[in-house]
Amino acid sequence: MKSTNNGPDSEIEIGTACKNKSCQVRYEGTSSNETECLYHPGVPVFHEGLKYWSCCQRKTTEFDKFLEQQGCETGKHNWVAVKETVQRNNCRMDWHQTGSNVTISVFAKCADPTKTIVKVNQVSVDIFIVYEDDKIYSQWLELNGIIDIGKSCVKLLGSKVEIILKKAEPVSWGKLQYESQAGDHSQSS
């Protein structure tokens, strides 16, 4: 496979967000390059209820407070589009269950908590993980059972993302994903 790095990268679209962690600045023209970038060079750490960046270790229990923590390092903004280097679904996914929980593990290292989104409803999970700076894992799963959203949670660990789903009923799931029998989605209402 051949790849060239000589793409038209000289033009940065207005509104492009800086890719450095926790920097909120968007590109508004060349003057934006003269403003300082405040970012975290480290990785997010979530440990026993505490959330912090490995670089500055200002520990907090609240996710919002963690997201608000200003960068501890100054440098130049990084506008380079993520798109070019995106690799999708490139990491292993696994699951296991106990009597009350189903745990999905996505082996994405150093997931970015400011960009990673896991949406659930009672019967499905929509996973979008940004990890190792610029890689993306996205997956939508229709579940084989019903879950209790309020008691389900997501853990960003250094080596993987764990999605812990609380079963609405303590029954064993034969498999993780629901597969429709007939192939059509007939729903009686």
Closest CA to 26 of 82, 79, 76: 79
Q: CB of 108 within 8 A of CB of 160? A: yes
51 near Zn ion, rule: CB under 5 A:
no
How many residues in the shown chain lie near Zn ion by CB under 5 A?
Answer: 11
Q: Which DSSP symbol is given to 53?
A: E
37 near Zn ion, rule: CB under 5 A:
yes
56, 80, 82, 164: which one binds Zn ion (CB under 5 A): 56
Piece of 36-44, 84-92, 96-104, 172-180 that binds Zn ion (CB under 5 A): 36-44
Piece of 43-51, 54-62, 134-142, 154-162 that binds Zn ion (CB under 5 A): 54-62
Residue with tokens 């501890």: 72
Q: How many CB atoms lie within 10 A of CB 177?
A: 13
Min. distance of Cβ 11 from Zn ion in angstroms? 18
Q: CB of 165 within 8 A of CB of 105? A: no
The two three-digit tokens of residue 15, written as one number: 């509104």
18, 93, 110, 111: which one binds Zn ion (CB under 5 A): 18
Q: Could you tell me which residues are beta bridge partners of residue 45?
A: 52
46, 52, 53, 137: which one binds Zn ion (CB under 5 A): 53
| Residues near 50 by beta carbon (within 8 Å), at least 6 away in sequence | 59, 60, 61
20 near Zn ion, rule: CB under 5 A:
yes
82 near Zn ion, rule: CB under 5 A:
no
51, 77, 135, 167: which one binds Zn ion (CB under 5 A): 77
55, 82, 123, 146: which one binds Zn ion (CB under 5 A): 55
80 near Zn ion, rule: CB under 5 A:
no
Piece of 14-22, 108-116, 130-138, 162-170 that binds Zn ion (CB under 5 A): 14-22
DSSP H helical ranges for 74-140: none
Q: CB of 76 within 8 A of CB of 23? A: no
At residue 84, the 3 state secondary structure works out as helix
Residues within the interface to Zn ion (CB under 5 A): 18, 20, 23, 25, 37, 40, 53, 55-56, 72, 77
